[in-house]
């Protein structure tokens, strides 16, 4: 999607445009609430740009709003929270045709209470190495702020929010908890994964098309510069109280 948008913007502004996005999603993952910024020397008119881009973009990509950004705004480093949803269906016939591009079929019977219990064990500041594909020099420490499941008939929706996510983390979180719901693992097994220091081969990564980035939160304009600096710091998990000779 980033390349498609950059090509369209470059045509509109008649100069090379490079985007910085709030979150780079895996191939096949949707982005209903993606945020991006770019620099241009050309005249900028947000509503006019939205209208013009509709002519250049394919039908499965749309820009719904555009405006000048504050000087310290960075779509990636200024973000304080990202929100994802993952959609599953327990219908015995699978996902309906009109929903098949964004809903994943699972077993008709799952233990939703067990899934919720497993999800609660993952909340907080942890090293999510077991759930992430390793990138050289990158931390896997994240603060998972929300992981909740709701049911609407046959539709199960996971709401997952954190200050940031590492590569494949959300899909791995869903895959691990779904294993609990389908009776293949216990809730305590999910919590135990937080003690691992490498990606776990026991965690199944859920299919990409069920996942969507739905929103990104940012601080007030006057707090952007501070947030940018905080995000660039390498984080570690605090040692438990009484540890290491204390």
Question: Is 171 in the same domain as 99?
Answer: yes
| 145 Cβ contact partners less than 8 Å away, ≥ 6 residues apart | 81, 123, 161, 162, 163
Q: Where are the beta strands (DSSP E) in the chain?
A: 20-21, 30-31, 36-37, 81-89, 104-105, 124-127, 141-152, 155-162, 211-217
Last residue of a domain, one of 76, 107, 142: 76
Task: Please tell me whether residues 72 and 86 are part of one structural domain.
Answer: no
Q: What is the pLDDT of residue 237?
A: 67
Note whether 129 and 63 are same-domain residues.
no
One domain for residues 8 and 51: yes
SS (H, E, C) 107-161: CCCCCHHHHHHHHHCCCEEEECHHHCCCCCCCCCEEEEEEEEEEEECCEEEEEEE
- For residue 227, being part of any structural domain is answered with no
Residue 236 lies in a domain: no
Looking at the structure, do residues 65 and 107 belong to the same domain, yes or no? no
CATH number of the structural domain spanning residue 141: 3.30.70.660
Specify the residue for token string 């799952």.
110
pTM of the model: 0.90
CA 127 to chain centre: 17
pLDDT of residue 235: 62
- Distance, in Å, from the CA atom of 3 to the CA atom of 19, rounded to the nearest integer, reads 9
Q: Are residue 117 and residue 184 in the same domain, yes or no?
A: yes
Query: What was the pLDDT predicted at 244?
Result: 36
C-alpha span between 184 and 163 (Å, rounded)? 30
Domain hosting residue 28, numbered range: 2-76
On whether both 208 and 86 belong to a single domain, the answer is yes
Predicted confidence at residue 25, as pLDDT, reads 76
Does residue 115 lie within any of the structural domains? yes
Domain count across the chain: 2
**43 and 103 assigned to the same domain:** no
Please list the active-site residues: 26
Q: Do 179 and 154 belong together in one domain?
A: yes
Are 72 and 96 part of one and the same domain?
no
**13 C-beta neighbours (distance < 10 Å), count:** 17
**By the 8 A CB rule, do 147 and 174 touch?**
no
**Where among 76, 102, 130 does a domain terminate?**
76
204 and 104, same structural domain? yes
What's the pLDDT score for residue 234?
Answer: 60
**Which pair of structure tokens corresponds to residue 129?**
């190495």
The span from the CA of 239 to the CA of 81, in Å, is 24
* The residue to which tokens 């013009």 are assigned: 52
Quote the Cα angle for 8-11-14, to 5°. 140
Any domain includes 239: no
Question: What tens-digit pLDDT sequence spans the chain (246 residues)?
Answer: 788 999 999 999 999 999 999 987 778 899 999 999 999 989 999 999 999 999 999 999 999 999 999 999 999 999 999 999 999 999 999 999 999 999 999 999 999 999 999 999 999 999 999 999 877 767 899 999 999 999 999 999 999 999 989 888 999 999 999 999 999 999 999 999 999 999 999 999 999 999 999 999 999 999 999 999 988 776 666 655 443 333
Domain boundary pick from 47, 76, 105: 76
| Assigned domain for 45 exists | yes
Check which CATH number belongs to the domain holding 17 and give it. Answer: 3.30.70.580
């Amino acid at each position: 999607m980033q390349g498609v948008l950059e090509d369209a913007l470059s045509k509109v502004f008649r100069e090379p445009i490079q985007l910085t996005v709030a979150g780079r999603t895996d191939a096949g993952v949707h982005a209903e609430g993606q945020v991006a910024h770019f620099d241009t020397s050309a005249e900028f008119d947000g509503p006019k740009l939205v209208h013009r881009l509709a002519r250049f973009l394919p039908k499965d990509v749309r820009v719904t709003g555009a405006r000048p950004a504050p000087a310290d705004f960075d779509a990636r480093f200024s973000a304080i929270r990202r929100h994802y949803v993952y959609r599953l269906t327990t219908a015995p016939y699978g996902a309906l045709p009109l929903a098949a591009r964004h809903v994943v079929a699972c077993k008709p019977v799952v233990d939703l209470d067990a899934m919720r219990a497993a999800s609660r064990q993952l909340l907080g500041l942890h090293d999510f190495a077991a759930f992430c594909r390793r990138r050289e020099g990158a931390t896997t420490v994240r603060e998972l702020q929300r992981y909740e499941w709701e049911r609407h008939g046959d539709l199960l929706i996971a709401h997952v929010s954190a200050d940031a996510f590492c590569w494949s983390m959300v899909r791995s979180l869903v895959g691990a908890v779904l294993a609990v719901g389908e009776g293949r693992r216990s809730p305590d097994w999910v919590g135990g994964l937080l003690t691992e220091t490498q990606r776990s081969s026991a965690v199944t990564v859920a299919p990409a098309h069920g996942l969507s980035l739905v929103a990104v939160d940012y601080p007030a304009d006057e707090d952007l510069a501070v947030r940018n600096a905080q995000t660039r710091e390498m984080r570690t998990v605090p040692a438990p109280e009484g540890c290491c000779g204390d």
